[in-house]
Amino acid sequence: MSDNPRPLRLIIVGTGGMAKNHAAAYAGMPGVTVVAGVDRDPTRLAAFLAAHDIERGFASLDEAIAWGGFDAASNVTPDAIHHDTTLPLLAAGKHVLCEKPLAANYRDAAEMAASATRAGVVNMVNLTYRDTPAMSEAARLVAAGAIGDLRHFEASYLQSWLTQPAWGAWDKEEQWLWRLSTAHGSMGVLGDVGVHILDYATHVAGSDVASISCRLQTFDKAPGGRIGDYVLDANDSAVMHVQLASGAIGVIHASRFASGYMNDLTLRIFGTKGGLAVWSDGKRSTLRGSLGEDMITADWADLPFPPVETNYTRFIAAIRAGQPVAPDFARGAALQQVLDLAALSDRAHAVALEI
Amino acid sequence: MSDNPRPLRLIIVGTGGMAKNHAAAYAGMPGVTVVAGVDRDPTRLAAFLAAHDIERGFASLDEAIAWGGFDAASNVTPDAIHHDTTLPLLAAGKHVLCEKPLAANYRDAAEMAASATRAGVVNMVNLTYRDTPAMSEAARLVAAGAIGDLRHFEASYLQSWLTQPAWGAWDKEEQWLWRLSTAHGSMGVLGDVGVHILDYATHVAGSDVASISCRLQTFDKAPGGRIGDYVLDANDSAVMHVQLASGAIGVIHASRFASGYMNDLTLRIFGTKGGLAVWSDGKRSTLRGSLGEDMITADWADLPFPPVETNYTRFIAAIRAGQPVAPDFARGAALQQVLDLAALSDRAHAVALEI
Amino acid sequence: MSDNPRPLRLIIVGTGGMAKNHAAAYAGMPGVTVVAGVDRDPTRLAAFLAAHDIERGFASLDEAIAWGGFDAASNVTPDAIHHDTTLPLLAAGKHVLCEKPLAANYRDAAEMAASATRAGVVNMVNLTYRDTPAMSEAARLVAAGAIGDLRHFEASYLQSWLTQPAWGAWDKEEQWLWRLSTAHGSMGVLGDVGVHILDYATHVAGSDVASISCRLQTFDKAPGGRIGDYVLDANDSAVMHVQLASGAIGVIHASRFASGYMNDLTLRIFGTKGGLAVWSDGKRSTLRGSLGEDMITADWADLPFPPVETNYTRFIAAIRAGQPVAPDFARGAALQQVLDLAALSDRAHAVALEI
Amino acid sequence: MSDNPRPLRLIIVGTGGMAKNHAAAYAGMPGVTVVAGVDRDPTRLAAFLAAHDIERGFASLDEAIAWGGFDAASNVTPDAIHHDTTLPLLAAGKHVLCEKPLAANYRDAAEMAASATRAGVVNMVNLTYRDTPAMSEAARLVAAGAIGDLRHFEASYLQSWLTQPAWGAWDKEEQWLWRLSTAHGSMGVLGDVGVHILDYATHVAGSDVASISCRLQTFDKAPGGRIGDYVLDANDSAVMHVQLASGAIGVIHASRFASGYMNDLTLRIFGTKGGLAVWSDGKRSTLRGSLGEDMITADWADLPFPPVETNYTRFIAAIRAGQPVAPDFARGAALQQVLDLAALSDRAHAVALEI
């Protein structure tokens, strides 16, 4: 980094939900200015601009692009319109950091990835668990051959907001109810956190999913399977087994009924020379290994790991360096393809589907 | 138990392998006498009789049955002949404790279970992990409703004898090589330890497998895939997802490539009111729970559990009480059916198969 | 029919392709007037209006609906826009005869069917093989119990335009090339004629598909699999087996490589009391039966059948009678659901998928 | 053939069922003598020897082999013991013609084929429909390239003995009842005639099954699904789709409920240069083709075919010539493998299984 980093102007498209995280992240970066917010809801937009001291607001993305005074955008719109909002930004030659999941289905996601490649801009999907330092170190160790050739793994993302009230009343609050209803845009636990644990496992393994079998389950939660307008038909638990391109096999699972775990991602991964165990809850993370002599005696030790930079910081650095950054749109599309196949497998008696 | 328990006379059929464990177990029990051993290998038989101070030896089971001076038998023959040796014992009205797996396939196992029921004798399959006290307590807690309605679980049996030498040289010793070769009677890790982890998970859950999807993998381990006469074609890793009759879903997996674990069985099981985590290595076991108030805060506590009696002790007690005992042959057959379907699923693109 | 049938005013939406068949059919009907054509291509529209002596032309459907001077519409637009053009017609309370397939996928088709029901108008999908008299008589006989309870059937739609030039040069003419390319909107032989043979078989059987397994095959036809802009990736042959709701099972297949058959639909259907064989080539049809005493000796006889009215005639009659007519949009949607599942089954190792 | 063909001595193992056909066939051949019959039922054996003027009888195969005075054997034992009776014959260096199906499962059949190869004797499975002259000519034409590259086919074996009494009372006669009951050794219509139509289709195509999907159906036929000791659980109809090694795809189906057909095998097969249609009922056969110019106009012509020799005649000729003959045990084993996979596919939601 130079002392005087190149000034960058960003806009934030969509000012609800996670937008404040983006604004806060950029606020602390030298030379980075959020120059505008975009939202069709004027009240929400005004509040956001005021809260984060942002100068301009636009009621539509078209207006913002017509104005043009920005280098990059954070796309924080609802999932279903990531596709329609990102394509014009790419066409205008803007760098884009898009919230996950990249799109509602693989076809849309692949089109976004292809457009980004054609545009030659920095593109990134905001898989926030990539910020987990223990996970990054695990990926580095596996790539460096620390556990030899991969053979077997187990990955889980466990939540319990359907069995305890720590995050609020799932049966009364809209932020939880919509996640239980396909008509409200939910792909259930598979779409909600499945993308994270899939990315987590395959990023550490350094190998993509080659074949996947999936079973989804929706449990009875309310009389008649509905609460008000919400038909509670989205999946609550997902269990999968996969084969990676490397030949290793493993299980991946996720649930909102995992009483005892708020938000826990766990990965145990085994190779011919050792094993690693990564845990995180989104805030803290740990890394343990059974490597070298330890493996002979089945002992495990805590392993050190350096801090990692956030996606926001790496996105900005990539723009300045004129270099690509991971996880890019192509990665986001690849994950979406696996999720689509998982849902298809569940529909098809869990038959294994090859990528 | 009375002060003078009814005297019981046992024979041990098959005097290699695990037979010494049976002999040692019975040796300490009041009123129990091992009155004969049966083996067609005279050298092995003689050594066994001498080592355990057993009076009689028979070169064939037919001769032993013709003699008839016993009440019960431990069947410790090779897996492939459990069926042919157990049926005559049942026909002769003898109680039988049979080593696991009960038979080579479901059809044979079901016939054994039906024969035992007709004979009205005590019948038991020696699933040794039923001796695990933490697991027994977990089963009791689940049955008592401690975690509410079951939703989700994860079960694993992890070994590493293919990556480290603690148990011997897998590529030189017959006791390991045969487990890698279907022509030598192996069903791979699925048949070897899959039966244990399947029993473990469904016994604690108190609900049988209703549907199973399975993927098996055999990894390259030697040039040309063989060592001497051993074609190394048996599976090394097994990954499954299942639905139980209760509706709960989960993953079950096992591997011989799980570097860092010698012989670890782990079960995490979740219901609407709490979660339990059971671990054992065949010698020690632990039980942790997130129950009641703990579940609200996602805290976990060690839970106490009483000691449990061995299968041998419970087998003898059941004979004396004239009562059935678990796990009986019907249970052994049910497990065999699931294993057969798992192998079939793997052959059939992992499609989920209903029981 | 009365002597002075109620006057009806129709428009034809889309004036290419099959539109001339619609115009010609309506031209001969007393009291029926085609009052306008709609097409965004002014040259094509003008030629069509002139050829069929139609008074008005509209460049868009919106304009035609704004004008409003019609009772019903024939929708002859490209398949991909059936959905977007039919919904406004229904919303305007117009009766609609839509070309097959009803839509590009089940979701769209189901929405059209639901909209038609809400609108309370006559709605019909133009499955032209419903005009086949032998097939209609076969359906009547089956419904009347002539062959008893259904058990087994075989249905095929065989073409050979990929192996002989009778219909033109498939490798040079756009009307054939687009049918070989998914990027040009083709679902291959499955989508092209599969809908006809599926309707044919299940209409005669009087029972819907309950479960379907499908395999599709695309054969090499040109160097590099493409001719000009056409990537030749659409399926050429489709083979399926199904179970009907009645429990009967059968095979359904179609090919463009069936050298020796131009355009032959054949159905053999068997029940507990007899068998029927229907054949047609779109112009002629035959019906044979092995019924009653004939069935005992496995003899077959030609069976008589009355002529049937065309879809166009029945559409008009239904409007005048204020009654529904078959095949309606609900039927079109049900067929589309089966086609979608067939394509999914092919993607999923041909696993049988239940409706 | 020379004027004085080499004398050959045969035995017939199993003297019930089809044995009289074998005896009659050999009776007319110069230089061929049936020197003994083998059966453990002395009454049946005596009657058979008398009826066919055969000199010797043996109560067991062991005795016949110990005697040794024969060159070849016809194995007409029940299907379930083909394996156990054929292996000793091969070990003794005898040529063997074995009734179909070669064995009860692929493993046994493959062992028989391997043993026959090692023994270096003539081995043949008695697939009697190979005697069909129209089918032989069709196979020759396909192999000669008359229809170009194969693309698509339809094959059926249709019977109706469950709906009409021409062959006897299926619900009273043992010869039919056992075919409806798995406990009586039946694999249903799949095992009974499926082997014939599979052989028929793939022999004409000149290409083996590479992948198969199968659905089986058992229909209600009697109150409670049983008649006396016969549980009526064997399949009545089988529907399959397959891909051949050549890439061609097709449907294969069979039923006992095909009212109007006593025993009809039909094959329609299509390639890039023409189509063929073969029909036979086991006694007569026809062959039609749409070849050359006919194919352009979709015309069909009857094609001539020469007579073919029976399996019995070709078996004897092969022994004398010291040459192999088709269909040999390897072919019988390959067919058994496909049948086993078909049954497995049906158990597994009809998923396509690769050979």
Question: How does pLDDT run across B278-337, given as a tens digit for each residue?
Answer: 999 989 999 999 999 999 999 999 999 999 999 999 999 999 999 999 999 999 999 999
Question: What interface predicted TM-score (ipTM) does this complex get?
Answer: 0.94
Whether pLDDT at A302 is above 90: yes
What's the pLDDT at D3?
A: 59
Cβ of residue A294 closer than 8 Å to a chain B Cβ: yes
Helix axes C194-205, C329-347, angle to 10 degrees: 120
The fraction of chain D above a pLDDT of 70, given in percent, is: 99
Chains contacting D with at least 3 CB pairs below 8 Å?
A, B, C
Instruction: Evaluate if residue A64 carries a pLDDT over 80.
Output: yes
Per-residue pLDDT at C111 exceeds 60:
yes
| pLDDT at site C151 | 98
Q: Note whether D353 contacts B: Cβ–Cβ < 8 A.
A: yes
Q: How many CB atoms sit inside 10 A of residue D2's CB?
A: 8
Q: What is the pLDDT of residues B52-98, one digit of tens each?
A: 999 999 999 999 999 999 999 999 998 889 999 999 999 999 999 99
State the chains in contact with C (3 or more Cβ–Cβ pairs under 8 Å).
A, B, D
Four-residue CA torsion sign, C259, C349, A112, A37: positive
Are D270 and C258 an interchain contact pair (Cβ–Cβ within 8 Å)? yes
Q: How far apart are the first and last CA of chain D?
A: 40
CB A205 within 8 A of CB A246: yes
**pLDDT at position C119 over 60:** yes
A1, pLDDT greater than 60: no
Q: Chain A closest CA to B195's CA: distance in Å?
A: 18
User: pLDDT digits over A262-278, tens only?
Assistant: 999 999 999 999 999 99
Averaged over C215-222, what is the pLDDT? 97
Closest Cβ opposite residue D353 in set B348, B352, B353: B348
Using CA atoms, how far apart are residues B99 and B90, in angstroms rounded to an integer?
15
Are the C-beta atoms of residues C313 and C1 closer than 8 Å to each other? no
Asked if the C-beta of B351 comes within 8 angstroms of chain C's C-beta atoms, the answer is yes
Which chain A residues are closer than 8 Å to C352 by Cβ?
A: 349
pLDDT digits (tens, 9 = 90+) for D39-87: 999 999 999 999 999 999 999 999 999 999 999 999 999 888 999 999 9
CB D352 within 8 A of CB D345: yes
Q: Is residue D223 pLDDT above 70, yes or no?
A: yes
* Chain D environment of B353 (Cβ under 8 Å): 347-348
Which B positions 210-239 lie with beta carbon below 8 A of chain A?
Answer: 211, 213-215, 217, 219, 236-237, 239
Residue A3: its pLDDT value, please? Answer: 59
Going by DSSP bridges, is the β-strand pair B72-75/B8-13 parallel, antiparallel, or unpaired?
parallel
Lowest mean pLDDT among A273-277, B123-127, B308-312, D100-104: D100-104
First to last CA, chain A: 40
Instruction: Look up residue A140 and give its amino acid.
Output: R
E strand or H helix at B315: helix B311-321
Span B181-238, pLDDT tens digits:
999 989 999 999 999 999 999 999 999 999 999 999 999 999 999 999 999 999 999 9
Position A105 scores a pLDDT of 92
- The residue-averaged pLDDT of A331-338 equals 97
D152-174 tens-digit pLDDT: 999 999 999 999 999 999 999 99
How far is the alpha carbon of B327 from chain D, nearest alpha carbon, in Å? Answer: 28
Residue B3: its pLDDT value, please? Answer: 59
| Cβ contact A64:A40 at 8 Å | no
Q: What is the mean pLDDT of residues A16-39?
A: 95
Interface touch A255/B236, C-beta < 8 Å: no
Q: What is the pLDDT of residue D1?
A: 44
Place of tokens 């019948």: B123
Whether the predicted pLDDT of C79 surpasses 90: no
User: Mean of the pLDDT values across residues A299-321?
Assistant: 97
Q: What is the mean pLDDT of chain B?
A: 96
Give me the sign of the Cα torsion angle A215, A219, A225, A231.
Answer: negative
Q: Which amino acid would we find at residue C155?
A: A
Question: Does position A2 have pLDDT exceeding 70, yes or no?
Answer: no
| Under 8 Å between Cβ of A151 and A300 | no
Q: Nearest-CA residue of chain A relative to B244? A: A217
H-run or E-run covering C143:
helix C133-143
Confidence of residue C17 (pLDDT cuts 50, 70, 90): confident
A124-156 pLDDT, tens digit each:
999 989 889 999 999 999 999 999 999 999 999
Query: Which residues on A lie below 8 Å from D349 (Cβ)?
Result: 349, 351
Residues of A in contact with D351 (CB under 8 A): 349, 351
CB contact under 8 A, C154 and D156: yes
pLDDT band at residue D207 under the 50/70/90 scheme: very high
**pTM of the entire predicted model:** 0.93
Task: Decide if C183 touches A, using CB distance below 8 A.
Answer: no
The pLDDT value given to residue D145: 98
Chain A residues with CB under 8 Å of B300 CB are 260
- DSSP secondary structure letters along D7-52: PEEEEEE--STTHHHHHHHHHTSTTEEEEEEE-S-HHHHHHHHHHH
Counting residues of chain C whose pLDDT is more than 70, the rounded percentage is: 99
Q: Is D350 on the interface with B (CB under 8 A)?
A: no
Instruction: Give the minimum alpha-carbon distance from B177 to chain A in angstroms, rounded to a whole number.
Output: 18
pLDDT for C185 equals: 86
Question: CB distance from C355 to chain A under 8 Å?
Answer: no
Q: What is the pLDDT of residues C275-294, one digit of tens each?
A: 999 999 989 999 999 999 99
Confidence of residue A229 (pLDDT cuts 50, 70, 90): very high
Instruction: Report which of D258, D274, D347 is spatially closest to residue D266, judged by C-alpha positions.
Output: D258
Which chains, if any, share at least 3 CB pairs under 8 A with chain B? A, C, D
Among the partner-chain residues D156, D213, D297, the one whose CB lies closest to the CB of C213 is D213
| Residue range C241-263: mean pLDDT, rounded | 98
pLDDT at B1: 44
**pLDDT at C162 (0 to 100):** 97
**Torsion angle of alpha carbons A28, A34, A40, A45, nearest 10°?**
50
Shortest Cα distance, chain B CAs vs residue D107, angstroms: 13
